[in-house]
């Protein structure tokens, strides 16, 4: 577990309400979406060899590591070297625009590791749905900063670490206010703004805006 200073507390009532929304949302979501989840899993298995669910170690609230779930969108024999190299350059660039792609987004373009079906799943954010299991288990929240990979965190500046003071989320302020169009420092700033101004109403607002952003798939996360 990583040491994280300045851990955020929501207060007893706030924590209870946030967890209640997370439980209700994850249970309802997994129940209603179960046919879709099964269909996506079958399509992934038919599209390319490998497991339907991609499991990766991520850094969660308070620096705790956990098993993070996504639908697999890449070929199963791909390593993390390409993404790690990109993230190191993105973090090093900080507030710079040097890595902005031709579509105006800070994200890897034409990634050869991604399958044809995987591109669709990423564009529509359907690959994120298994994280409802992480929410149900209490490892993630519906709303919060995106969970980081250890090699990202090892390159953080001290002020970046405060984004790890709360549970990570499936969606968050960054995703509904620019998503991949923001540079790395912009993403961190959005996460800290969320942490500093958290309320149940902000969570509900972000959840509602997330559905609108998903239908506008530009810069999908």
Does the pLDDT of residue 172 top 70, yes or no? Answer: yes
What is the per-residue pLDDT across 191-212, written as a single tens digit (0 to 9) for each?
999 999 999 999 999 999 998 8
What span, in angstroms and rounded, lies between the C-alpha atoms of 166 and 63? 9
Q: Which pLDDT score is estimated for 82?
A: 65
State both tokens at 70.
Answer: 């996504």
State both tokens at 60.
Answer: 């969660």
Dihedral sign for Cα atoms in the order 142, 107, 98, 179: negative
Q: Domains in the chain: how many in total?
A: 1
The reply to whether 1 falls in a domain is no
Neighbour tally for 67: CB within 10 Å: 12
Most confident of 10-19, 99-108, 109-118: 10-19
Place of tokens 């308070």: 62
State both tokens at 21.
Answer: 């929304």
Q: Which pLDDT score is estimated for 85?
A: 74
The reply to whether 174 falls in a domain is yes
> Residue 185: which pLDDT band, with cuts at 50, 70 and 90?
confident
What is the per-residue pLDDT across 48-77, written as a single tens digit (0 to 9) for each?
999 999 999 999 999 999 999 999 999 887
Computed on alpha carbons and rounded to an integer, the radius of gyration of the chain in Å comes to: 17
User: pLDDT over 70 for what percent of the chain?
Assistant: 80
The reply to whether 21 falls in a domain is yes
CA-closest candidate to residue 146, choices 166, 131, 168: 168
Decide which of 125 and 110 is more confident: 125
> Residue 21: which pLDDT band, with cuts at 50, 70 and 90?
very high
CA-closest candidate to residue 54, choices 74, 24, 35: 74
What span, in angstroms and rounded, lies between the C-alpha atoms of 209 and 221? 14
The reply to whether 2 falls in a domain is no
Annotate 123-151 with b (16+ C-beta within 10 A) or e (fewer).
eebbbbbbbbbbbbeebbbbbbbbbbbee
The reply to whether 99 falls in a domain is yes
The reply to whether 4 falls in a domain is no
- Structural domain range at position 124: 12-215
Q: Are 184 and 106 in contact (CB under 8 A)?
A: yes
The reply to whether 133 falls in a domain is yes
The reply to whether 7 falls in a domain is no
What span, in angstroms and rounded, lies between the C-alpha atoms of 14 and 160? 24
């Amino acid at each position: 577990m990583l040491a994280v200073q300045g851990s955020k507390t929501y207060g007893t009532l706030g924590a209870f309400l946030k967890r209640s929304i997370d439980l209700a949302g994850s249970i309802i979501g997994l129940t209603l979406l179960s046919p879709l989840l099964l269909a996506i899993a079958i399509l992934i298995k038919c599209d390319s060899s490998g497991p339907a669910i991609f499991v990766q170690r991520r850094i969660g609230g308070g620096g705790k590591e956990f098993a993070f779930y996504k639908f697999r969108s890449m070929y199963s024999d791909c390593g993390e070297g390409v993404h790690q190299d990109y993230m190191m350059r993105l973090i090093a660039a900080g507030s710079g625009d040097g890595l902005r792609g031709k579509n105006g987004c800070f994200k890897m373009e034409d990634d050869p590791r991604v399958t044809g079906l995987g591109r669709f799943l990423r564009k529509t954010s359907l690959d994120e749905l298994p994280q409802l299991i992480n929410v149900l288990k209490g490892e993630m929240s519906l709303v919060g900063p995106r969970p980081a990979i250890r090699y990202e965190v090892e390159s953080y500046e001290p002020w970046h670490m405060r984004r790890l003071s709360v549970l990570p989320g499936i969606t968050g302020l960054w995703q509904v206010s620019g998503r991949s169009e923001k540079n790395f420092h912009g993403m961190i700033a959005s996460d800290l703004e969320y942490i500093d101004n958290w309320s149940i109403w902000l969570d509900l607002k972000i959840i509602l805006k997330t559905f609108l952003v998903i239908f506008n798939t530009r810069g999908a996360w």
